[in-house]
Amino acid sequence: MLMGNCLLLFLWCLLDKSFVSPLHSSIQSRMAKEHHRNLMAHRKHGMMGAHRVKRGWVWNQFFVLEEYMGSDPQYVGKLHSDLDKGDNMVKYTLSGEGVGSIFAVEPSTGDIHALRSLDREEKPYYTLRAQAVDVLTGRPLEPQSEFIIKVQDINDNEPRFLEGPYTASVAEMSPVGTYVTQITASDADDPTYGNSARIVYSILHGQPYFSVDAKTGVIRVALPNMDREVKEMYQVVMQAKDMGGQLGGLAGTTTINITLRDVNDNPPRFSKSIFHLRVPESSLVGSSVGRIRAHDLDSGKNADVEYSIFPADGGSLFDIYSNKHTQEGTVILKKRLDYETRKAYTFKVEASNIVLDHRFLHLGPFKDTATVKVNVLDVEEPPVFSRPSYSMEMFEDTPVGIIVGAVTAEDLDVGNSPIRYSIEWRTHSINHFDIDPNEGTLSVNEALDRERNDEHNVTVVATKVNNPLLSSKVTVTIKVLDVNEFPPELALEYETFVCENAKVGQVIQIISATDRDVPAVKHRFYFKSPSHIRTRNFTIRDYGNNTAGVVTRRGGFRRMQQNAYLVPVVVEDGGYPIRSSTGTVLVRVCTCDTDGSMLSCSAEAVFFPMGLSTGAVMAILLCIVILLVMVMLYIGVRRHKKKDTLMSSKEDVRDNVIHYDDEGGGEEDTQAFDIGTLRNPKGIDEAAQSRKIRSDDQCGVPVSTEEDEDIRAYIHHCLHEDHISNSEPPYDSLVTYAYEGEGSVAESLSSIESWVLDSKEDYRSWGPRFKTLAGIFKEHESKATENSETRPHTEERLD
């Protein structure tokens, strides 16, 4: 085997030009002597790295067999350089992938060996670099060159199916050659070398139903008319073999489960031709009578069966419902059955496929028919009324005991039992009617009133005498008809007005009426003026649509003569007997403008059109009166506050500091010396009095009055206390003047600034505005002079 591989390698090297051509070609024109001289020059001068020398040695791409099992290292190839003269002066080195662990080189000969077995599936090739160096100097003789060692493949991997087992499906009854599926295998061996990866497919199990293409792995139908109803599942074992299927090739297998898909190739079939069903005559409409079934060998939607009843047979009494889950047909009842009328029914049912496949219509009709016989069972039933409900009418004035109507029930069974009638008792309502237990006639047992209840619902019970447990009920509706017993009335208490300048024939109010009676059709009212009352002011005009108008018969109304009129109105209905009533319309006389709009009227005439009642008007007036009283009280309180009383004796404390904000007006202001004003400046308006002002040329004390005497006495008393206190300032009272007046020639008169007065003071120089004060001081000075004679040691001070 090894010799054969070596022979193949040798032949391939001869054919491959890349093997004999160098990776880096050297200069062919140089002779061996030149190479030798170059080598000697490199050795002598040590300049191998200084000059670029083209390689003079060659090798090819190498191959190594995978999975080598020999005891010695596997020979790969040989490195050789033209500079190698066989004198062991050239050393060969390797570097790259796997050097040392996988590959090794003989330094002197350049032989390359593989140290261990290789697997191409793990790594297909290795890239290495070779170098020829001088043995003595260790310098490269030529540039480093790269080469590849390929791992040569052998057939050591079998084909494998990666996703098995597989499933596939194909329609039943498919022709030969119908595509089913494609299954492929993979081989890890090298597909570019030999037949190791060349796979051939074959079927080991599954013939003669299916076949496979040897190259592509496509599986096809090999047997015609395969029926799913006979066999639905097939298992096919397929083999994949390499080496082109030759002897010695490796193989792998897999399983394919192939299912036949259903097609509608089978019609539905009834298991029997006649189905017998039984149903009680008391069964309700829509109840089930029985089930029938037609079998279909197909599956899924191909097995869906639709059932129908032939119209000519029992289509009016019975119907059939198709159940897609159970594929059954349920016969249901469309009408009530009566054993005494008919005891049996026969009809035909057809079962057919919903979905048809036109490829198989030649196999026959895809439907089937069967006969259904239904026997009606006798059941003892309760009595049956002649109607499902009854409706009767009765006037509300019908006397007690009068028959309203009758109900009828009968026993349809063979026994024909007598019937007893009764009224179902209700606790929450009064029963106004009685029923004859044998005849079923209804009569009035209590007076009727349509206005209280216009309709009565009575439940009548019919019971078998032979079997009291069997009974039935029916509803009787009794409408109470109206009797014209109430007269019509005006709809409202009408109040309107008429203008003083109203013209003849002017409509001042539209009126209508109501009636508590409810006629069969609708109300009809008639309006007119009373025949026994003759009035020349107003009349009633009937419009014929259940309304009327109040119309003036004259003009020139005067509110001063008569401010209101009561207009009588007679209202009649259209019932029998005719009922009527008389109402009144209040008409007030008001003043209006030319357009007829009211300008003035009496209080009620003004407010009532606005929707205000008498109570509302009184409330508004009361609110106005209350507001006026509150305003008057507020004004009185304000006036009272301005009249403040003078300071009481308890407030008259000598050590108070009094501040008032009135402005001094000079000597002409005679009101500035009211002691009450000084104590209470806010009362100056009420305490002020008129005083005479002296002429400008007068000097001396002004005309004395009672108030002036009080002021003089007060000042004298203050001065007297001042002299007694050894010329100390007056009592602790500081009077602040906010304004001293304009044009004062005497400047300030403050006791703080003028501490001592000259005894020879000329009071005339104070000016006309301070004449009064100057007179007071002059009088005081004269009195002080008299006192000084009696007490010469007393010093006078003027403040």
Q: How confident is the model at residue 21 (pLDDT cuts 50, 70, 90)?
A: very low
Q: How confident is the model at residue 788 (pLDDT cuts 50, 70, 90)?
A: low
Q: How far is Cα 157 from Cα 173, in angstroms, rounded to an integer? A: 40
Asked whether the predicted pLDDT for residue 33 surpasses 90, the reply is no
Q: On the CB side of 371, how many CA atoms lie within 13 Å of its CA? A: 5
What are the phi and psi torsion angles at 609 (to 5°)? -60, -25
- What's the token pair of residue 58? 């060659």
Per-residue model confidence (pLDDT) at position 37: 41
Question: ∠ CA(658), CA(664), CA(669), 5° rounding?
Answer: 120
Asked whether the predicted pLDDT for residue 682 surpasses 80, the reply is no
Of 289, 293, 299, nearest in space to 322 by CA: 293
Per-residue model confidence (pLDDT) at position 43: 37
DSSP-derived 3-state class of residue 132: strand
Q: Which residues contact 211 (CB under 8 A, 6 or more apart)?
A: 203, 219, 220, 222
**pLDDT tens-digit profile of 529-571?**
998 888 889 999 999 999 999 999 998 899 888 999 999 999 9
**pLDDT tens-digit profile of 619-642?**
888 999 999 999 999 888 887 766
Q: How confident is the model at residue 7 (pLDDT cuts 50, 70, 90)?
A: very low
Per-residue model confidence (pLDDT) at position 720: 64
Of 289, 279, 308, nearest in space to 368 by CA: 308
DSSP-derived 3-state class of residue 452: coil
Determine which of 42-56, 68-82, 290-304, 513-527 has the lowest per-residue pLDDT on average. 42-56
Asked whether the predicted pLDDT for residue 169 surpasses 90, the reply is yes
Region 153-157: mean pLDDT is 81
Buried b (16+ CB within 10 A) or exposed e, 188-212: bbbeeebbbbbbbbbbeebeebbbb
Asked whether the predicted pLDDT for residue 266 surpasses 60, the reply is yes
Per-residue model confidence (pLDDT) at position 560: 87
Burial degree of 442 (CB within 10 A; 0-12, 13-18, 19+): buried
Q: How far is Cα 599 from Cα 606, in angstroms, rounded to an integer? A: 9
| % of the chain exceeding 90 in pLDDT | 34
Phi-psi group of 418: left, alpha or beta (phi > 0 → left; psi -120 to 50 → alpha; rest → beta): beta
Per-residue model confidence (pLDDT) at position 42: 37
Would you mind telling me the total number of residues written for the chain in this entry? Answer: 799
**pLDDT tens-digit profile of 451-466?**
788 888 999 999 999 8
Are the C-beta atoms of residues 347 and 251 closer than 8 Å to each other?
no
Bigger pLDDT: 393 vs 781: 393
Q: How far is Cα 149 from Cα 61, in angstroms, rounded to an integer? A: 6
Q: On the CB side of 178, how many CA atoms lie within 13 Å of its CA? A: 17
Per-residue model confidence (pLDDT) at position 516: 86
Angle between helices 771-790 and 706-724 (to 10 degrees): 50
User: Hey, which residues does 350 pair with through a beta bridge?
Assistant: 308, 369
**pLDDT tens-digit profile of 101-151?**
889 999 888 889 988 888 888 888 899 999 899 888 888 888 888 888 888
Per-residue model confidence (pLDDT) at position 379: 86
Per-residue model confidence (pLDDT) at position 785: 72
Are the C-beta atoms of residues 95 and 154 closer than 8 Å to each other?
no
User: What is the 3-class SS of 202-264, one letter each residue?
Assistant: EEEECCCCEEECCCCCEEEECCCCCCCCCCCEEEEEEEEECHHHCCCCCEEEEEEEEEEECCC
Measured from the Cβ of residue 30, the count of other Cβ atoms closer than 10 Å reads 14
Lookup result for tokens 């497919």: 201
Determine which of 244-253, 254-263, 475-484, 604-613 has the lowest per-residue pLDDT on average. 604-613
Q: How confident is the model at residue 680 (pLDDT cuts 50, 70, 90)?
A: low
Region 15-21: mean pLDDT is 36
Q: On the CB side of 392, how many CA atoms lie within 13 Å of its CA? A: 21
Region 713-732: mean pLDDT is 58
Measured from the Cβ of residue 560, the count of other Cβ atoms closer than 10 Å reads 7
Determine which of 167-176, 225-234, 587-596, 730-739 has the lowest per-residue pLDDT on average. 730-739
- What's the token pair of residue 471? 């009974």
Identify residue 564 by its one-letter amino acid code: A
For all residues of the chain together, what is the average pLDDT? 78
User: Hey, which residues does 332 pair with through a beta bridge?
Assistant: 288, 319
Query: pTM of the prediction?
Result: 0.42
User: What is the 3-class SS of 482-497, one letter each residue?
Assistant: CCCCCCCEECCCCEEE
Determine which of 368-382, 495-509, 594-608, 726-740 has the lowest per-residue pLDDT on average. 726-740
Q: How far is Cα 784 from Cα 149, in angstroms, rounded to an integer? A: 156
Per-residue model confidence (pLDDT) at position 755: 44
Of 92, 84, 127, nearest in space to 111 by CA: 92
User: Hey, which residues does 402 pair with through a beta bridge?
Assistant: none
**pLDDT tens-digit profile of 491-536?**
999 999 999 989 999 999 999 999 988 776 788 999 999 988 888 8
Query: For strand 507-514 and strand 547-552, is the pairing parallel, antiparallel, or unpaired?
Result: antiparallel
Q: Which residues contact 501 (CB under 8 A, 6 or more apart)?
A: 555, 592, 594
Q: How far is Cα 693 from Cα 690, in angstroms, rounded to an integer? A: 10
User: Hey, which residues does 547 pair with through a beta bridge?
Assistant: 512
